Amino acid sequence: MATSPSIQMRTNPISAVLEWFGELGIFTAQVLKAAFTLPFEWSEFVRQLDEIGARSLPLVALAGSAIGVVLALETRYSLVRFGAKSLLPTTIVFAVVTEMSPIITGLVVSGRVGAGIGAELAAMKVTEQIDAIEASAVDPYKLLAVTRIAACILALPLLTLAASFCGVLMGWVTNTLIEPISLMRFINTGFNNASFKDFLPPTFKTCVFGLIIGLIACYQGMRARGGAEGVGTSATTSVVLSSLFVILADVVLVKLIILIFP
């Protein structure tokens, strides 16, 4: 008796993974083609930028503030223990700006935005709204995918800067509650002997995080099947996969930044 394709896929995870990457590659090619086809959907892009960027700002700022507080408390204890308390501002600034803010922002946005985009597009797919858009001679890749991916790419560095600002500020507040120090002295000490190459590459690497989050969330949403269950599955897989690939991309990008900007 012949085995159905669905059963074969379940019993052969390697084929399923390869098929997923192949379909993602085809989807990426379709998105790139739509991105370079005029006109651009500016009104939808601005709406998505507000949804992805502005509405994620409070959560990202809260996460950045928490990072600053925790780093100030933990590093202060360790540095005082080894007689290096004077390095506290530099440690906080470099830890927050170069690594903690980018990866935390990427994970926070992948959780909030990834689930939102995946669920929204999946709901449109299962209710045949995407088919209706295509039937009305509008490219769904340009209207739905390109605008969301572009908004993610632009919003992530801006959100990272906000997280870094909140992290450094709350690091100073936490430190000054224990041992008063002026904000100007804290900033001057923290950024002493630092250059733009120490901070710009880690911040702008989040553009890659935005590309990953937007691309995977849109792909998972626009391939949804199975009604309400498919919507939930798309939202869940969007968060899980985008978070996973953000972490993997961070590892690769850190190594590249070290090689390119020694």
Q: What is the pTM for the complete model shown?
A: 0.86
Q: Are 144 and 222 within 8 A, CB to CB?
A: yes
Write out pLDDT tens, residues 204-241: 889 999 999 999 999 998 887 877 777 888 888 889 99
Answer whether 238's CB lies under 8 Å from 221's CB.
Answer: yes
CA distance 140 to 138: 6
Average pLDDT over residues 193-209: 83
d(CA 213, CA 160): 15
- Condensed to tens digits (0 to 9), the pLDDT of residues 129-158 reads 888 887 887 788 888 889 999 999 999 999
